[in-house]
Amino acid sequence: MKREAYFPEVVKQALSNIPPGSWMSAVPEGCIRLNSGYPAANLVPSTELKEATDRLLTEEQDLPLHYIGSPRIDQLKTQLIERMNERKMEVQEDEVLVTSGACQAIDLIARILLDENAFIIVESPTYMEALEIFQNYTKNIITIPIDADGLDTKQLEGILIERTKKEEPLPKLLYTIPTFQNPTGTTLSFARREKLIKLAKEYDFLILEDDAYGELAFGESPTTLKSLDEEDRVFYVGSLSKIVAPGMRIGWIAAHSEWIEALFWFKKDLEHPFAQSVMSAYLEKVNLAHRSVLLTEKYEEKAVILYEALIHFMPEGVKWYRPEGGYFMWIEVPGVDTTAMLAKAKKAGVAYVPGQYFFLHQDEGKSFLRLSFSYASKEEIKKGIEILSHVVAEEINK
Amino acid sequence: MKREAYFPEVVKQALSNIPPGSWMSAVPEGCIRLNSGYPAANLVPSTELKEATDRLLTEEQDLPLHYIGSPRIDQLKTQLIERMNERKMEVQEDEVLVTSGACQAIDLIARILLDENAFIIVESPTYMEALEIFQNYTKNIITIPIDADGLDTKQLEGILIERTKKEEPLPKLLYTIPTFQNPTGTTLSFARREKLIKLAKEYDFLILEDDAYGELAFGESPTTLKSLDEEDRVFYVGSLSKIVAPGMRIGWIAAHSEWIEALFWFKKDLEHPFAQSVMSAYLEKVNLAHRSVLLTEKYEEKAVILYEALIHFMPEGVKWYRPEGGYFMWIEVPGVDTTAMLAKAKKAGVAYVPGQYFFLHQDEGKSFLRLSFSYASKEEIKKGIEILSHVVAEEINK
């Protein structure tokens, strides 16, 4: 039986891309994990979640184990809205949809907006999972480079002007991680945020704002696009993966109620009452604003150690930005193929993610790599950069 | 802003259908819930799941709270495969994908096979969530009636012959709940199962076998289509919702490894490590075969009470089959509009699901209703049927 024959064209097209998760290489035992975009093990509240589960099931018994019925399913939504309000984003109850992490949120937004004829704009580089998702819907992906101030809105405008002139289709959606971007760690400047919102109005596109790292600002917290959005063009995507635990799979979309209604239509995995209620019970005992401050302090300490280790150990020519929040640093090693180098690095005892996976046109990422300061300990970070610097130096001097 | 303008045609089309969950009407406090396809509250293992969570997080700490890392994510798959093997379905590890319940499983299968040009066959009546899902992909839904022996394979063959003759597109997929069907409670006879597999080969279509109720056989357990499937045409969908707890959202797909690979490609909510690991820890202490026997005994007692109450209380002319397993009974009340009657029934103190929601062409379901014997207690079932019978008698005599 020829299985491919059963797939619609758009599915065949998607299946011809790089398989999902290709970027996630096996890491040998004992290797320092500067690749993992995970929260630090000691910052994952396993004891508190255990307590929350115990309290939940003692109080509610079977309720959170049915399809619906636990009052904490609604309560979780309220808790997320309260936190958004604190962060100066006005959101009502019918403007929020809880999802299985940011990934399902992104997939659902793509589902209601993109077909194979639609155009979408993404940052370059960008979050590899999001690239995978969009490529499941359309080939028409336009990339706009990122610099130290985030998405280059001048280039964006140039492309929009040119496409208009040439009567080429305009994009429907722009995907951005404006704050502490994955993988670059950069943040979109305020001026560019205003410009982006203006361009969206002018060229009639929608914005998917992925704010997975927004709670982790070392300095002042940047204004979200959502709070600048007067025309309901922004689909805001939040996540508790980075500030509570990714394994709970709790994310959400905040958008105009009509968008939410359409998104709900296509969300066919139903609610996740157990995970959602446990999370809600956990949040009853935790102030997210305080937790965010505490986590940020810890991550900043590690970011500084990473930054200083790079200065101390890395050979000349290697480049990076100073991180202002989030989980990541983005390193350029001019002239070196970071994909080829990974095997040597892992053998030497340190893992990273090669830059190519964050680019639609993978070749553009050959000389970059992503380092995460979230998961490894301070000692490991320092040691890891020392090891990596030797490997890099060898490659440069080859 | 005109939001509809942003949606692709297929999305607009989907959004013109009946909104998801329309069948789920509000049930007043104190009303007997013969509508809910829920496991009985006292059969949901909340204490055991609490213990499992506690044990899991004590042993593994942060592991099940990351994206990956808990060994119990893989172990759950092994446990599901072992149970399938016990039920005479040979399945390898690369032939299983764990999903968020049967609903996500059905949605994913639709995602890789159906576009707006594809044809699909469903039973009539059928599971309303599945109808909602398929309608999100295509308008081309062909319905085949069900009788006491399940899907009418003679009619199916007739339609296939006719479409072939007329050179009309043949269906790609057939969706069936062959065992203790939702909503009718009927089971496809063995002869028809063989016939169905034969037709699939002959007319080159695939089969989605939804086996959500397969573990709950009052008598001998019917042979699954999966175990008759020599050509890997069957996508088997299993679920722990009915035999453990729906709120955990654990289902799975078993199919040829190439199908599984494609399904995984489009499953963008990632793994659900917390829920999956808790379930796996729970299953370490529970023998599913034994649990299935115990649950079946309990549900059969309630089914018998429902069946006898119908005989005792229902006015003449009302019809039903004797259930052989599962959660449901399907009642025909000739000449009565069950949708209109629901308000009266709820006012009198009993809720059911009107038949119309299980039909693509809702008018065909006007005189049917679905009763569930799973959730309500024995006393409630008896009382509920007494109340419902009075309401029905009044409607008939109107």
Identity of the amino acid at A74: D
Stretch B72-76: mean pLDDT, rounded?
Answer: 98
Question: What is d(CA A100, CA B21) in angstroms, rounded to the nearest whole number?
Answer: 19
Distance from CA of B61 to the nearest CA of A (A): 6
Q: Which of B192, B187, B188 is nearest to B323 (CA)?
A: B187
Residue that terminates a domain, selected from B287, B302, B323:
B287
Over 80: is that where the pLDDT of B1 sits?
A: no
Name the band, by pLDDT with cuts 50, 70 and 90, for residue B96. very high
- Show residues of chain A in contact with B15, CB under 8 Å: 262, 265
Q: Note whether A304 and A214 are same-domain residues.
A: no
Question: What is d(CA A120, CA A137) in angstroms, rounded to the nearest whole number?
Answer: 10
Q: Note whether B244 and B197 are same-domain residues.
A: yes
Distance from CA of A39 to the nearest CA of B (A): 8
Residue that terminates a domain, selected from B287, B310, B334:
B287
Tokens of A172: 């429907």
User: What pLDDT is attached to residue B165?
Assistant: 98
Closest residue in A to B10 (Cα–Cα): A115
Q: Note whether A367 and A254 are same-domain residues.
A: no
Domain annotation covers residue A7 = no
Tokens of A224: 């979200």
Closest residue in A to B67 (Cα–Cα): A247
Q: Note whether B131 and B214 are same-domain residues.
A: yes
Distance from CA of B100 to the nearest CA of A (A): 6
Domain annotation covers residue A327 = yes
Strand B328-332 versus strand A368-372 pairing type:
unpaired
Inter-chain touch B66–A38, beta carbons under 8 Å: yes
Over 90: is that where the pLDDT of A298 sits?
A: yes
Closest residue in A to B45 (Cα–Cα): A62
CATH of the domain at B391: 3.90.1150.10
Q: Note whether A191 and A328 are same-domain residues.
A: no
How far is CA B125 from its chain centroid? 12
Question: What is d(CA B237, CA B251) in angstroms, rounded to the nearest whole number?
Answer: 7
Over 90: is that where the pLDDT of A249 sits?
A: yes
Domain annotation covers residue A3 = no
**Per-residue pLDDT reduced to its tens digit, A39-69:** 999 999 999 999 999 999 999 999 999 999 9
- Show residues of chain A in contact with B201, CB under 8 Å: none
Cα angle A264, B20, A249 (rounded to 5 degrees) comes to: 35
Average pLDDT, chain B: 97
Inter-chain touch A66–B38, beta carbons under 8 Å: yes
Residue range of the domain that includes A352: 22-44+290-396
Q: Which of B364, B357, B108 is nearest to B237 (CA)?
A: B108
Q: Judge whether B183 and B140 are in contact, CB under 8 Å.
A: no
**Number of cross-chain residue pairs from A and B with Cβ atoms under 8 Å apart:** 218
Q: Judge whether B330 and B184 are in contact, CB under 8 Å.
A: yes
Distance from CA of A186 to the nearest CA of B (A): 24
Q: How much is the ipTM here?
A: 0.98
How far is CA B57 from its chain centroid? 32
**Per-residue pLDDT reduced to its tens digit, B6-46:** 999 999 999 999 999 999 989 999 999 999 999 999 999 99
Inter-chain touch B272–A272, beta carbons under 8 Å: yes
Of A10, A233, A256, the CB nearest to B115: A10
- Show residues of chain B in contact with A112, CB under 8 Å: 7, 11
Domain annotation covers residue A340 = yes
Inter-chain touch B6–A273, beta carbons under 8 Å: no
Identity of the amino acid at B71: P
Place of tokens 């949606």: B7
Closest residue in B to A269 (Cα–Cα): B104
Closest residue in A to B117 (Cα–Cα): A8
Distance from CA of A63 to the nearest CA of B (A): 8
Tokens of B97: 């994908």
Of A172, A247, A248, the CB nearest to B6: A172
Over 80: is that where the pLDDT of A1 sits?
A: no
Domain annotation covers residue A6 = no
B82 burial type by CB count under 10 A (0-12 exposed, 13-18 middle, 19+ buried): middle
CATH of the domain at A197: 3.40.640.10
Q: Judge whether B382 and B305 are in contact, CB under 8 Å.
A: yes
Inter-chain touch B47–A57, beta carbons under 8 Å: yes
Question: What is d(CA B165, CA B172) in angstroms, rounded to the nearest whole number?
Answer: 17
Inter-chain touch A38–B67, beta carbons under 8 Å: yes
Stretch B92-97: mean pLDDT, rounded?
Answer: 98
**Collapsing DSSP states into helix, strand and coil, what is residue A318?**
coil
Inter-chain touch B274–A270, beta carbons under 8 Å: no
Name the band, by pLDDT with cuts 50, 70 and 90, for residue B398. confident
- Show residues of chain B in contact with A42, CB under 8 Å: 62
Inter-chain touch B6–A41, beta carbons under 8 Å: no
Average pLDDT, chain A: 97
B90 burial type by CB count under 10 A (0-12 exposed, 13-18 middle, 19+ buried): exposed
**Per-residue pLDDT reduced to its tens digit, B134-147:** 999 999 999 999 99
Q: How far is CA A204 from CA A229, A309, B3, in A?
A: 13, 45, 11
Q: Note whether A27 and A79 are same-domain residues.
A: no
Q: Partners of A331 in the beta sheet?
A: A320, A369
Distance from CA of A41 to the nearest CA of B (A): 6
Tokens of B221: 């357990």
User: What pLDDT is attached to residue A398?
Assistant: 86
**Per-residue pLDDT reduced to its tens digit, B315-363:** 999 999 999 999 999 999 999 999 999 999 999 999 999 999 999 999 9
Q: Note whether B138 and B274 are same-domain residues.
A: yes
Of A114, A241, A273, the CB nearest to B247: A273
Q: Note whether B145 and B181 are same-domain residues.
A: yes
Name the band, by pLDDT with cuts 50, 70 and 90, for residue A381. very high
Q: How far is CA A105 from CA A100, A251, A255, A281, in A?
A: 7, 7, 11, 22
User: What pLDDT is attached to residue A2?
Assistant: 86
Q: Note whether B35 and B64 are same-domain residues.
A: no
Of B107, B258, B273, the CB nearest to A268: B107
Q: Note whether B54 and B7 are same-domain residues.
A: no
**Collapsing DSSP states into helix, strand and coil, what is residue A340?**
helix
B219 burial type by CB count under 10 A (0-12 exposed, 13-18 middle, 19+ buried): exposed
Inter-chain touch B62–A70, beta carbons under 8 Å: no
Q: How far is CA B68 from CA B27, B50, B64, B121, in A?
A: 40, 22, 7, 37
Domain annotation covers residue A304 = yes
Domain annotation covers residue A17 = no
Q: Judge whether A141 and A124 are in contact, CB under 8 Å.
A: no
* Domain total in chain A: 2
User: What pLDDT is attached to residue B131?
Assistant: 97
Domain annotation covers residue A4 = no
Q: Note whether A281 and A307 are same-domain residues.
A: no
Return all residues near B356 (Cβ < 8 A) that are at least 6 apart. B338, B339, B362, B363, B364, B365, B366, B368
Name the band, by pLDDT with cuts 50, 70 and 90, for residue A370. very high
Residue that terminates a domain, selected from A285, A311, A330:
A285
Q: Note whether B335 and B263 are same-domain residues.
A: no
